[in-house]
Each structure stands twice: as C-alpha cells, then as structure tokens.
Chains A and B, each alone.
Chain A
Amino acid sequence: MIPAKFDYIKVSSINEAVDLVDKHGFDAKILAGGHSLIPAMKLRLNTPSILIDISGIEGMNEIKESGDEIIVGANCTHKQIMSSDLVKNQLNILAQTAATIGDVQVRNRGTIGGSLAHSDPSADYPATVLACDAKIEVTSKNGSRTIDAEDFFQGIFTTALEDDEIITAVRFPKVKDGNYQKFYQSASRFAVVGVAVVKDGNGVKVGITGVADTPYRAKAVEKAYDGSTDAATHAVDGVDVMSDHFADSEYRAHLAKVMVKKALA
C-alpha cells in the first residue's frame, strides 16, 4: 500500500491552481481531502506524478448565505457541513447527508468538492445535490462557469467537469423540508441506496444515488407524487439498476422503493 513516486505542491490561490493544472495536464491531480484519491494511489490504481493540494486556498472552505442561497465552498469538509448552524437551519438535508458519510476521520478530511468531482456511484452527496437542484461552480484557465446538478453526473466516476476544471463551490437553494435516507453497505458504509427528497409547495424533487451507475432525479416518482408515499413504487422506473454481491438488481430496486417511501414519509 505504498503509492508510486509523486511531487506535491500546495497552492494558496485558485489562479495558481488552474495555472499548474494547465501546465501539467494529465500528469497532475487535484488533491482536496485525499480520501478518495490517496487510497487509489496506494493501490497504484492512480499514479499522478504531481499532486496540487488545493486545501489551503483562501475562501474555498467557507459556508455563506447569499440571498435565497447557501454557498458551500468546495473545500468544506463533511464535518464542517454537518456541524454548520447555517446549513442545519437553512439546508438541513445537506447536514443530514454529510453526517452519514464514512466515519469521523473521513468526515474530518473529505470534502464536498472532492466527493462531487470523484463521483462514486455510491456516494451520498449526489442524491441531495440533485434533489436540491444545486449549481456547481467551476473554474479553469479559460474562466468560470456554472453547471446544473442534473447535467453534472454523467456515469461511474464521470462528470461534466473538463479535465482542467476545478470545483470552487456548490450553490444550494435554501430548503425547509428535506429528508435524506440511506441504506448502508455493510462493509464500506457507502450508500447501497441513498434517497434525498425535497418538498416544496408544488411537489417533490427526488434524487437517488447508489441505484444506477449515475445518480438520477426520480422524475416518475415526482410526477406520481400525490402527497402520500405511494409514488415510491416508481423509484426505478426506466432505470438500469446496478448489481453487486451485496445487492443484486432485484433487491436494490426493492430497496430503492423502500427508501423513497421512507424519505417521502
């Protein structure tokens, strides 16, 4: 469990980071909390020759209120998010989600930006990011842009991020009525199924992670929602459900319905 040789640079500004990414291209990797990247490097599944540590960039680890939005810096740790009063009061579903991730060590190091960029199909945040219709702020040498949550997740470990783009923040609308429900995988404690439900006057938005190779908005559930939990039966409509030795597609589909029902209740 010893990674291959690599260089390490800790940057203090986003400009410095995008310049280095531009300069080193494929040889470089952004390092945030390191809780997905370092394990992969130790197994030598990932062998970057240079790590650009962005954890010291000023302002990127702040949680701010801005009008109707809560802006979460990409470098905010899971621990920071679950303990922030602002998040707990205005965006409780995100605090709930963060609290289910890993263990204390993981939550103390891992970041929301790293989790979204890594895009593990069983990661927790994607469900909530989708259900909240959050917006992902990214920056590269060519400037900045905003990616809608629904466009962001594109497959297993695949996102709409360009190779040279860095996530700087995630913008969430304030959410009063949100609920995150997770069924834990017994070994990794990632989500076998994670369901985020956001309710507003008009209906529900449902984000589901762990079920398909890409986290998705359960539109069929949203459409069928009638105020009861009956719409949960539509949790996997039109979805190609994943299968592994903990949960084959039949059981996983069932679990998705159970967890959607819980989250709607």
Chain B
Amino acid sequence: MGSYIGKSVKRREDARFLKGEGKYTDDIKLPNMTHMAFVRSPYASANVLSVDTSEAEKAEGVVAVFTAEDGCGQYGVPCGWQVNFKNGETMREPQHPLLAKDKIRHVGEPVAIVIAETQALARDAAELVAVEYEELPAVTNPKEAMKDGAPKVHDQFPDNMAFDWCIGNDRAEVEAALEKAHHVTELEFINQRLAPNAIEPRSYIADYDVNGDKWTLYTSTQNPHLIRLLMCAFVLGIPEHKVRVVSYDVGGGFGSKIYHYTEEALVTWVSREIARPVKWTADRSEAFLMDAHGRDHVVKSKMGFDKEGHIVAHLTDEYCSMGAYLSTFAPAIPTYLHGTLFQGLYKTPLIHLNVVAPFTHTVPVDAYRGAGRPEATYLIERLVSKGAKEMGMDPAEIRFKNFIEPFDGVNQPGYQTQVALQYDSGNYAPALEKALDAIGYKDFRKEQAEARKNGKLLGLGISTWIEGCGIAPSAVVGALGARAGLYEVGHVRVQPTGKVSVYTGTHSHGQGHETAFAQFVADRLGIPMDDVEIIHGDTEQVAFGMGTYGSRSLSVGGSAIVKSIEKVLEKGAKIAAHKLEASVEDLEYAGGKWTVKGTDKSISFGDVSLTAYVPHDYPQGLEPGLDFSSFYDPANFTFPFGAHLAIVEVDQDTGKVDLKRFVTCDDVGNIINPMIVDGQIHGGVVQGIGQALLEEVVFDESGQMITGSYMDYAMPRADDLPMIETHNTVTPCPHNPLGVKGAGEAGAIGSTPAVVNAVVDALWHLGVRDIQMPLTPQRVWKAMQQ
C-alpha cells in the first residue's frame, strides 16, 4: 500500500498493447457479419447527375446497395456548438447528409454504400457503381473562399461564410493603441492544415438485435455517450435506451475520434435494414480523406510594444476554414478555444481577434490536439520573439517583463483576461527560468556567435505557453454556444470483499487512465492498486459521460470519482462507527482502516465493505451497499502553462533543419504519474515539431489532396528528433480536489513556435524574419536566398 500518487507506476494497459492483444473494434468479428464499402467522390466539387447501382447489386456476395434515395438519416449529422456572428446573427449551418444526393463538396464524400459478405467483395462491387458527375470549380483556401466570385460550397450561403466573430477589446481602441505604440511587429502566415493520423483507423460495427429492437455499436470513439446522444437523437431518430455504444481499446484519437461521423450512423442504420451486423474500417487513404483535419488558419497579426518592451496591444484577423460542413465541435475551435487564449502569459492590456470562418471544398476541420490553443500560442509566441529581436531585446527578457505576476487562485484571485476567461492559478517565471537553466541559455549565445564564425547556423527558440483545458463548466460553455454540458460522471462500486470497480465517463485511447486513475483511487481509499479496476468505454456499464478531449479526464473525470470516493468514505464511517461502538466524529480514516482516535481499535475497509453487503449487525436506517455515482461540473477551466526551448542547426547548403535539443518545463498542476505525464509531453511535443518542420495537407487547384498518403504527408520519425528533456514546476489547480490541470495537449501547444523561433533565430542575421510552416528544406533555403 502506501502512496501511489507521484510515482511512475508502469502502465497496466501496456502489456496487452505491447503484445498486440489490445481489443480494437476491427478485432471484433461477429457471427453473420457483413462489410460495408463506400463509393466516394473523386471530385472536390461536382453535381451528381446519376447513380447506377444495378451492376453492383448483381455482383458476387452483395447483400445490399444504398444511396441517398434510400432515406437514411434524413436530418444529417449535427453540429454541437453554435457560434454567433458578431452582429448577433446565428451561424450558417448547412445540412451534412450521410450520403451525398446531388452535390459533392469534398473529395471522398460518399455517394453510395455497398454491403457484402466480405470486405474484398464489398470493395469489388463498389467499383461497379456507376456515378455520373459534372465537375465544378472548387475552393480550398479559406481566404480565397471569401473572395467575390469564389466557387460556392453551399448555394444557400453565396458568400461561403459560416460566421464572422470577434472577441476582446473594442477594435478601434486596439488600433489606436497600435498607432501610438513605440514599435509594432507584424506577421502574415498560414497555420497549415494537418491530418490527425491516429495509428488505428476509424472502425465501426453495428449489431441490430431484431428481437429486442436494440443495437450495439462498437466504435473507435473518444466519447461513446456523446456519440449515442448525437446519433440517436439527431441523426437516426432512434431511442437512446435501445442503443449500447461500446468503445474498447482505441489506438489514438488526437481529437479526430471525438466527432460523430457519417460512417458511424450509416452502419447503425444499415444493420437494421438488413438485420445483420455491419462492419466498416477505414483504410489509410480514407483516414486521410475523411478524418476531420486540424488548424487551417490564414493569419494576419500585429503586436505593439512600448519603449521598454511591454506589450501594449495585439490585433489579429484570421480566416479559419470549417471545411465543407460543420463538424461536431468545429465552430468552437477557432473561436472559444482559440480567442480565449489570446492573453497568453502576458499582461497585454488591449487585445482584439476577428475570425471569419468560411466553408471550403475540403473535409471538415475540427479539434486536433490542442484545438485552437496551439494556433493562438503560435502566433503570440512568434510575435513576442520577433518583436523582441526587432527591438534589440532578449526574447527571454521580454517575456519576464510581460508575465502576469504569480497568483495561486486561493490567496490571490484568479487573473481576469481581456478575452472572457479567468485564469485559475499561475506562476510563469519559474517555468521559463528552469527551462533556460536546463538548456544553458547564458552560454548558448556565445556558442552561437562562435558557430557563426565557423559558418554554422545555430539558433535557439523560446515559447512560453498557456492553455485552457479541463473542459468545462457547463454553464459557461453553454453561454458560449455549446449544445452539451461538459461535466463528468464517476461511479465507485465497492464490491462486498472490498475490491473496487470504478466507472468513468472519460475515455482512454492511449492516455493510461487505467493506471493513473487507479493510483489516486487506491491512495484515497488506502488500499492496494491491485484492488482497483477502472472501467470505461461502454454506455451499458458507465452511467453517462462526456469522454476525453481538451485534457479533461483527470481534472473533470477524476474529480467526479473523488466525489464518489468521499461518499463511500462517509457512509463507510457510519458502518465503522457502528461496528466499533464509537461515534463517527471519533474515527479517523487512514491506511485503509477506520480507527477510534487515540486507541488501537480499528476496522478495515474490507470488513466495512462486507458489512455493507451483509448488513446483519448494521446501523439502523442505513441502506445496505457501498456504491456511489457522482456528476462533477468544474467551477472553471484549468490553465496549465510552461516553457519550451529548441536549439536547431540549419544546413547552409540545403536549408535542412537539424533539431539538436528540445527542453520543456511544463506546469500541469499536481502530477499523479510522472512517467505518464512525460509520455504525454513527448507525444505532444513530437506532434508540434511535426507541424513546425514536416506536416502539411496540400490540395491542388481542383481540390484533390496531393498529400493523401505517407509517400507525401511527412510524419515525424524517431530519427528526426533529439531526446526530449522534460522538467516541471507545480502550481496546483485551486478548484479541483486533485489539484491537477491536464497534460494531454501541452506538448503540442508549446513546441511548434519554439522550433520556428529557433530557425528564425539561426537565420536572423541573414535578414530572415519569418518562414511559412512546415519549415521544409526548400522553404528554409529560399528564405535564406532573399
């Protein structure tokens, strides 16, 4: 027993993952199961003139062929967040059909589905469906989409605009401050579109039970209850209590498995039509084409400074693509998960962000690791470093000068930003100091000068980041347009023998909840970790839940479990008091037993549990059993923060960037399992480095994705990376019982600007001020030539 919190306990789930024995959706094979294949549009923009399924219907092994004419999911897939125009008008919300009827709006949009006895036969038959298209011009760049005469994505919205939104101080006031500023730095760039690339492609199996008129949907999702709610209530109009959604092991999501996808609703619908189980698993090409992408902002920013380097104002205008339709959380990403972080770590007194969100002929864009916050951090941290260097100031110094003073959220109030939210607690300077010490900042400048003399281009980049996670207080997000609450459910079932089953509405798809959650549950109850099991991912076992994204699982889901543990201990104390013939006030609970204070009289957790289920000698009027469920709605977001530093060397001849060192110092509040937090930071950092140096979804003129495979979409690999050196400071979250803030997205938020700042630093003396991401050798070399 003893304390598990703070220990790098090895992950329980890893044995099955490492042995290849995880239970992923595609591993499930049901008796009598059929397979679904899609007929997908090869065009980004087209009219569908005719669909002829007759040949496919006759093909070997075909069970059924369906098109939009067959009336599946007539309401389409809904959007879960409403963002209003700045003039109050509601956002434009086009219908997102399950199968395209007469119009194609992105490459890969499905036109028909073929159900057959095997996956191969389904695919063979899908090739026999004859679709006649009339190709139309397409637009894929969000800024281009807003130009007069741009190809229309939805005829009913001729200007292609989903919404035009703003946040922060009055624009005129911000502009006036910029006018008067001592120095104004500017940036114009594209925060490029990324493909999420979870290692497990999306996979769904629907199993309709004719006798019970019930479904089981096995799905690779980050939030089974949310999928059930959206699909049942909005898409298919079937009663929720008739549907069980199961999401066992899931191989990564990074946001892309939050959303309710058309394929999920289609298998469910078809399963009833044919009264047989139906499976669909995306292949890698479909994953590139159909998984919601991330980022895709066209950005124009200005930041003003006074003589001493204090930031006086920040103004940004962005075009943020929604893609062809509004995915589940899409409108929230470039608005409430982005603009609300424009304060950064700084005392900036005047901030204004305007976001125009156009439709484009591309697959929808939604949350991708960090979701809006990496985009905010990128532009702020690039501006601060660029501004500092233009003014001849040290980019570390300018940050210290502008940091918000420390506040713990208990003795000092939270920090009210200019952009709606109130930070919970923060102490920013120590994180940057620690990172600077770790990298040897003072000596580096000498080394850099030395290296330059020898023709070597060394650079160091700094990024300090903050994010709002622990999503989210329901009333707050409701006011901001969320169509769901964002509380969490934690259920603690103490078995008669004192073993504990914990049911959480969060979902683990790589994060290690089975281990980290068991650590704090075991500690709170004073029992061995082996006595605690964590269960998630099944709507029939877990009462309800909102799933995992926005680094919320421990801070929101964990807090719900803590509430239930408190109820267990409160009731347990009553039973213990009865058995020990003492009063509850005289008891203390420690080490897994209740003891009468000042005596050696005690009773163990196990004995109390047994008594609760065999209530022979039992307090009068007390219900038997030891089983509690709680809903927890957080009081605020949590605001982890940190500093990321990169050292790069740029090859003079080829422009290739060699990342030499990467140092982090992150403050994610209290840490339950340092190894898991480090793992989350590593993964996030690598994704951020991927964006900085390698990754980019590219479309051609006609809207074809020319980076639709790993031949052309560059993912970071081990040999692209240095060892990642992680450090921490700890500033507990003041408003949740575990004092935790969240670590899932941190790495991806802080790392990208550190790398780009480092490359720009290496080339500053050559006049380079900015390079478009990803910083491919070609782009870096061209920047050096100018």
Q: Do A and B come from one complex?
A: yes
A residues 207-265 in Cβ contact with B at 8 Å: 245-248, 251, 254-255, 258
B127 lies within 8 A of A44 (CB): yes
A187 lies within 8 A of B715 (CB): yes
Chain A nearest CB from B713 CB (Å) reads 6
Chain A residues proximal to chain B, CB less than 8 Å: 1-2, 4-5, 43-44, 183, 186-188, 190, 245-248, 251, 254-255, 258
Query: Interface segment, B117-125, B675-683, B742-750?
Result: B117-125
Taking A186-B694, A190-B711 as given, write out 18 further A-B residue pairs in contact, using a Cβ cutoff of 8 Å, ordered by the A residue number.
Answer: A1-B284, A1-B285, A2-B120, A2-B123, A5-B120, A5-B124, A183-B777, A186-B720, A187-B694, A187-B714, A188-B712, A248-B778, A251-B777, A251-B778, A251-B781, A251-B782, A258-B653, A258-B654
How long is the Cα–Cα vector from A186 to B719 in the complex, in angstroms?
11
Binary per-residue interface labels of chain B (703-714) against chain A in the complex, 1 for a CB within 8 Å, 0 otherwise: 000110011111
B781 lies within 8 A of A254 (CB): yes
**B776 contacts the other chain (CB 8 A):** yes
Known: A186-B776, A246-B776. A1 touches B283 (CB 8 A): yes
How long is the Cα–Cα vector from A237 to B176 in the complex, in angstroms?
56
Chain A nearest CB from B605 CB (Å) reads 52
Contacts of A186 in B (CB 8 A): 694, 714, 720, 776-777
Q: Closest residue of chain B to A252, judged by CB?
A: B778
**B421 contacts the other chain (CB 8 A):** no
Chain B nearest CB from A264 CB (Å) reads 14
Contacts of B124 in A (CB 8 A): 4-5
**B721 contacts the other chain (CB 8 A):** no
Contacts of B710 in A (CB 8 A): 187-188
Contacts of B707 in A (CB 8 A): 187, 245
Contacts of B715 in A (CB 8 A): 187
Contacts of A245 in B (CB 8 A): 698, 706-707, 712
How long is the Cα–Cα vector from A186 to B528 in the complex, in angstroms?
48
Chain B nearest CB from A183 CB (Å) reads 6
Q: Which one of B127, B285, B713, B777 contacts A187 once the chains associate, using CB atoms below 8 Å?
A: B713
Chain A nearest CB from B202 CB (Å) reads 14
Q: Which one of B284, B713, B720, B778 contacts A247 once the chains associate, using CB atoms below 8 Å?
A: B778
| 12 A–B contacts, CB within 8 A, in A order | A2-B123, A2-B283, A4-B127, A186-B694, A186-B714, A186-B777, A187-B711, A187-B712, A188-B711, A188-B712, A190-B711, A247-B778
Q: Closest residue of chain A to B651, judged by CB?
A: A258
Q: Closest residue of chain B to A247, judged by CB?
A: B778
How long is the Cα–Cα vector from A248 to B779 in the complex, in angstroms?
10
Chain A nearest CB from B107 CB (Å) reads 15
How long is the Cα–Cα vector from A255 to B781 in the complex, in angstroms?
10
Contacts of A255 in B (CB 8 A): 654
Across the A-B interface, how many residue pairs have beta carbons closer than 8 Å? 49
Contacts of B714 in A (CB 8 A): 186-187
How long is the Cα–Cα vector from A254 to B651 in the complex, in angstroms?
14
Q: Closest residue of chain B to A189, judged by CB?
A: B717
Chain A nearest CB from B623 CB (Å) reads 56
Chain B residues proximal to chain A, CB less than 8 Å: 119-120, 123-124, 127, 283-285, 653-654, 694, 698, 706-707, 710-715, 720, 776-778, 781-782
Known: A1-B285, A44-B127. A246 touches B778 (CB 8 A): yes
Chain A nearest CB from B651 CB (Å) reads 9
Chain B nearest CB from A254 CB (Å) reads 7
Chain A nearest CB from B658 CB (Å) reads 13
Chain B nearest CB from A196 CB (Å) reads 18
Contacts of B713 in A (CB 8 A): 187
How long is the Cα–Cα vector from A245 to B714 in the complex, in angstroms?
12
Contacts of A2 in B (CB 8 A): 119-120, 123, 283
Chain A nearest CB from B256 CB (Å) reads 19
- SS of B interface (majority): loop
Chain A nearest CB from B583 CB (Å) reads 68
How long is the Cα–Cα vector from A111 to B706 in the complex, in angstroms?
28
Chain B nearest CB from A36 CB (Å) reads 11
Chain B nearest CB from A256 CB (Å) reads 11
Contacts of A4 in B (CB 8 A): 124, 127
Contacts of A247 in B (CB 8 A): 777-778
Chain A nearest CB from B81 CB (Å) reads 33
Ranked 7 nearest A-B pairs via Cβ = A187-B714, A1-B283, A186-B714, A188-B711, A251-B778, A258-B653, A2-B120
Q: Closest residue of chain B to A254, judged by CB?
A: B781
Chain B nearest CB from A40 CB (Å) reads 11
A43 lies within 8 A of B285 (CB): yes
Q: Closest residue of chain B to A183, judged by CB?
A: B654
How long is the Cα–Cα vector from A247 to B778 in the complex, in angstroms?
6
Q: Closest residue of chain B to A190, judged by CB?
A: B711
Q: Closest residue of chain A to B284, judged by CB?
A: A1
Q: Closest residue of chain B to A248, judged by CB?
A: B778
How long is the Cα–Cα vector from A118 to B459 in the complex, in angstroms?
42
Best-buried of A187, A188, A190, A245 by chain B (most CB within 10 Å): A187
Chain B nearest CB from A186 CB (Å) reads 4
How long is the Cα–Cα vector from A4 to B60 in the complex, in angstroms?
13
Contacts of B284 in A (CB 8 A): 1
How long is the Cα–Cα vector from A43 to B706 in the complex, in angstroms?
15
Contacts of B778 in A (CB 8 A): 246-248, 251
Chain B nearest CB from A97 CB (Å) reads 19
Chain B nearest CB from A46 CB (Å) reads 14
How long is the Cα–Cα vector from A43 to B284 in the complex, in angstroms?
10
How long is the Cα–Cα vector from A190 to B712 in the complex, in angstroms?
11
Chain A nearest CB from B455 CB (Å) reads 15
Q: Closest residue of chain A to B781, judged by CB?
A: A251
Contacts of A5 in B (CB 8 A): 120, 124
Q: Closest residue of chain B to A193, judged by CB?
A: B654
Q: Closest residue of chain B to A262, judged by CB?
A: B653
Contacts of A251 in B (CB 8 A): 777-778, 781-782
How long is the Cα–Cα vector from A188 to B715 in the complex, in angstroms?
10
Chain A nearest CB from B468 CB (Å) reads 33
How long is the Cα–Cα vector from A187 to B697 in the complex, in angstroms?
12
Contacts of A258 in B (CB 8 A): 653-654
Contacts of A190 in B (CB 8 A): 711
Contacts of A248 in B (CB 8 A): 778
How long is the Cα–Cα vector from A163 to B694 in the complex, in angstroms?
39
Best-buried of B284, B706, B778, B781 by chain A (most CB within 10 Å): B778
Contacts of B698 in A (CB 8 A): 245
Best-buried of B119, B654, B782 by chain A (most CB within 10 Å): B654
How long is the Cα–Cα vector from A187 to B694 in the complex, in angstroms?
8
How long is the Cα–Cα vector from A43 to B781 in the complex, in angstroms?
35
Contacts of A44 in B (CB 8 A): 127
Chain A nearest CB from B188 CB (Å) reads 20
Q: Closest residue of chain B to A258, judged by CB?
A: B653
Chain A nearest CB from B125 CB (Å) reads 11
Chain A nearest CB from B119 CB (Å) reads 6
How long is the Cα–Cα vector from A55 to B729 in the complex, in angstroms?
58
How long is the Cα–Cα vector from A263 to B484 in the complex, in angstroms?
62
How long is the Cα–Cα vector from A4 to B706 in the complex, in angstroms?
24
Chain B nearest CB from A143 CB (Å) reads 38
How long is the Cα–Cα vector from A43 to B708 in the complex, in angstroms?
12
Chain B nearest CB from A165 CB (Å) reads 28
Q: Closest residue of chain A to B712, judged by CB?
A: A187
How long is the Cα–Cα vector from A254 to B710 in the complex, in angstroms?
25
Q: Closest residue of chain A to B710, judged by CB?
A: A187
Contacts of A1 in B (CB 8 A): 283-285
How long is the Cα–Cα vector from A254 to B653 in the complex, in angstroms?
9
Q: Closest residue of chain A to B706, judged by CB?
A: A245
Q: Closest residue of chain B to A251, judged by CB?
A: B778
Q: Closest residue of chain B to A103, judged by CB?
A: B717
How long is the Cα–Cα vector from A97 to B395 in the complex, in angstroms?
44
Chain A nearest CB from B429 CB (Å) reads 37
How long is the Cα–Cα vector from A258 to B652 in the complex, in angstroms?
10
Chain B nearest CB from A101 CB (Å) reads 14
How long is the Cα–Cα vector from A94 to B781 in the complex, in angstroms?
30
How long is the Cα–Cα vector from A22 to B485 in the complex, in angstroms?
69
How long is the Cα–Cα vector from A1 to B653 in the complex, in angstroms?
39
Contacts of B119 in A (CB 8 A): 2
How long is the Cα–Cα vector from A255 to B782 in the complex, in angstroms?
12
How long is the Cα–Cα vector from A183 to B694 in the complex, in angstroms?
15
